[in-house]
Amino acid sequence: MKETYNSRYILGISFISALGGYLFGFDFAVISGALPFLREQFQLNAYWEGFLAGSLGLGCMLGCLIAGKLAEKYGRKPGLALAAVIFALSSLGMALSTGLNVFILMRFVAGIGVGMASILSPLYIAEISPASVRGRNVAINQLTIVFGILITNLVNYKLAGYGDQAWRLMFGFGFIPSVLFLIGVAFLPESPRWLMAHAREAQAAAILQKIGSRDYAVKAVSDFKQSFNSGQAQTFSAVFSKAVRPAITIGIILAVFQQLCGINVVFNFTSTIFESVGADLDRQLSETVAIGIVNTLFTLLAMWQVDKLGRRPLMLAGSLGLAIAYLVLAALLQGQAAPIWISLVVLIAIALYATSLAPVTWVLISEIFPNHIRGLASSVAIVCLWGAYFVLVFTFPILAELLGTYGPFYLYAVICLAGFIFIKARVRETKGQTLEELENNFVAH
């Protein structure tokens, strides 16, 4: 049998799905540029600053739960469309907010869209991609996330001169890519794996023959049948069954580690970090742009290497490298070093994260769960990810006020070292294996 692939078609639908990642990046990053204005607008103390930033994560948790059920019952495509609508409405809602409570509610709603996209976009891409390019294609989602962060940081920098209400424009701009995403979703096929799971073999086969050769489609259908013939129910209790427990444990710990490693403090509180060493507002916002550029460039490097070097080596190098970078950053912040030195170490940390924990965690979560519960199991892991995000961004302003801006980075260094030890002991390599083959590696027998 000769398996060939329609690379242009696969990349096209992967990029459309990954536009959800762009909007994820927008909602994630817009707060960094807007926060100096929001502090003044709403007279935020450390508690409310952390809660305002973290409210996105609370919405993400709900979005993941909605997406998991929706993805299993109705398919991946309807969930992506609903996420696009939520992105559009929440962008306008935040821009037009009349008070702090309304703004937090709208940011929570935006989080629902982010949470849905964070599970459905990589899940969809993993399910339509042949094994040989799955890591690269899922990393496209991470590329659009960081591209969304970069564009948002550039727009924030340009809009900062528009006065005290510039933050409204910053949030309102999210409406445009949301509508484009909704239009793109209309052209996506449904996931063939979901179709097979719902006894729609003819439709699945037709889509698989667009993705690859007839031989590829025949083999894929055969593999799916063997996997889905297990007859196991698609329930949350099945996610925590003895057979799946090894995979779900690894997925949850990696998801939590990706957040508690601390890098999103750098993304969300760039202005706070650089203000602590005397940088003015223009310098604070220009640093967000530099972070976005480095993040994008090194994500491209990760896409190139994830199917060559593999997932495990990148995760090990990133976690250990971040531990070292945080110790240096904490010492520099404590010693009130010049902003240029803070910037250098921050950018090194961003580069390490962008080539390891950022894209590879999403790849692994999309790969390691059995076909029959992949949507639900992914939603559980990613709910934990967003819960950890809320804890991280909610506690940072409070810890920084108590310990100094440098203090939390010593804690994040310890967490990164613990993550390195866990990955070395428990995480297996997944590159080059089909999703069906991976079931045998991560499921207990």
The pLDDT tens digits of the residues spanning 365-400 come to 878 888 777 777 888 888 899 999 999 999 999 999
Is pLDDT larger for residue 19 or for residue 28?
19
Residue 441 has pLDDT above 70, yes or no: no
Query: Structure pTM?
Result: 0.80
pLDDT, residue 227, reads: 63
Give residue-wise pLDDT tens across range 59-87.
999 998 888 788 888 889 999 999 999 99
Q: Flag the least confident range among 120-124, 176-180, 306-310, 338-342.
A: 306-310
* Model confidence band, residue 408 (pLDDT cutoffs 50, 70, 90): very high
Q: Tell me the C-alpha distance between 439 and 249, whole Å.
A: 14
Give residue-wise pLDDT tens across range 375-384.
778 888 888 9
* Model confidence band, residue 437 (pLDDT cutoffs 50, 70, 90): low
Residue 207 has pLDDT above 50, yes or no: yes
- Share above pLDDT 90 across residues of the chain, in percent, rounded to a whole number: 43
Question: What is the SS3 assignment for 10-70?
Answer: HHHHHHHHHHHHHHHHHHHHHHHHHHHHHHHHHCCCHHHHHHHHHHHHHHHHHHHHHHHHH
DSSP H helices, 173-277, are: 175-185, 192-197, 201-211, 214-228, 236-239, 245-260, 263-268, 270-275
pLDDT, residue 157, reads: 87
* Model confidence band, residue 416 (pLDDT cutoffs 50, 70, 90): very high
Q: Flag the least confident range among 75-89, 278-292, 401-415.
A: 278-292
AA letter at 334: Q
Domain ranges in the chain are 7-188+230-442
CATH architecture under which domain 7-188+230-442 falls: Up-down Bundle (1.20)
Is pLDDT larger for residue 252 or for residue 371?
252
pLDDT, residue 358, reads: 86
Residue 226 has pLDDT above 80, yes or no: no
* Model confidence band, residue 445 (pLDDT cutoffs 50, 70, 90): very low
Torsion 55-58-63-66 (CA) sign: negative
